[in-house]
């Protein structure tokens, strides 16, 4: 079964993280990514740009109508997401708990209900 694991953040969190600790944090994240790519359970890991780069796209008169985002006025926003393919819910939970910083920030885990293959 496939799952999406999501991590939320905000600018205050990123600003409070010491700059000299970023290289180690990124290395730990890449080690996690590689570990689960090797098992075949991590299908993709995606870190999102700052919320200031988000945009809203609607259709107006048949054409895209784009405005600055994000949609909700909130301090928290989706910072990264991971696509997992696991044998069980318990395994997905184990992987989510193994993510760097899962001991200080929760990882939101959602089962994927439906998939429409993109490689047809």
The pLDDT tens digits of the residues spanning 38-82 come to: 999 999 999 888 777 888 888 999 999 998 876 666 677 888 999
The pLDDT tens digits of the residues spanning 22-48 come to: 899 999 999 999 999 999 999 999 988
β-bridge partners, 31: none
Helices (H) and strands (E) in the chain, counts: 3, 6
What is the pTM for the complete model shown?
Answer: 0.82
- The pLDDT, as a whole number, for residue 51 is 77
Taking a C-beta distance cutoff of 8 angstroms, is the pair 92, 3 a contact?
yes
Q: What is the CATH number of the domain that holds 56?
A: 3.30.70.1060
Taking a C-beta distance cutoff of 8 angstroms, is the pair 8, 109 a contact?
no
Pairwise CA distance, residues 110 & 115, whole Å: 13
Structural domains of the chain, count: 1
Range of the domain at 85: 2-111
- The pLDDT, as a whole number, for residue 120 is 61
Residue 61 lies in a domain: yes
Residue 56 lies in a domain: yes
Residue 117 lies in a domain: no
């Amino acid at each position: 079964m496939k799952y999406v694991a999501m991590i939320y953040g905000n600018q205050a969190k990123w600003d409070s993280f010491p700059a000299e600790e970023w290289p180690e944090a990124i290395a730990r994240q890449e080690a996690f990514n590689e570990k689960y790519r090797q098992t075949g359970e991590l299908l993709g890991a995606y870190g999102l740009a700052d919320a200031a780069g988000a945009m809203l796209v609607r259709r107006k008169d048949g054409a895209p109508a784009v405005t600055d985002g994000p949609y909700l006025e909130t301090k928290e926003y989706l910072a990264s997401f991971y696509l997992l393919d696991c044998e069980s819910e318990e395994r997905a939970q184990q992987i989510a708990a193994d993510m760097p910083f899962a001991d200080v920030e929760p990882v939101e885990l959602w089962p994927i209900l439906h998939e429409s293959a993109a490689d047809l």
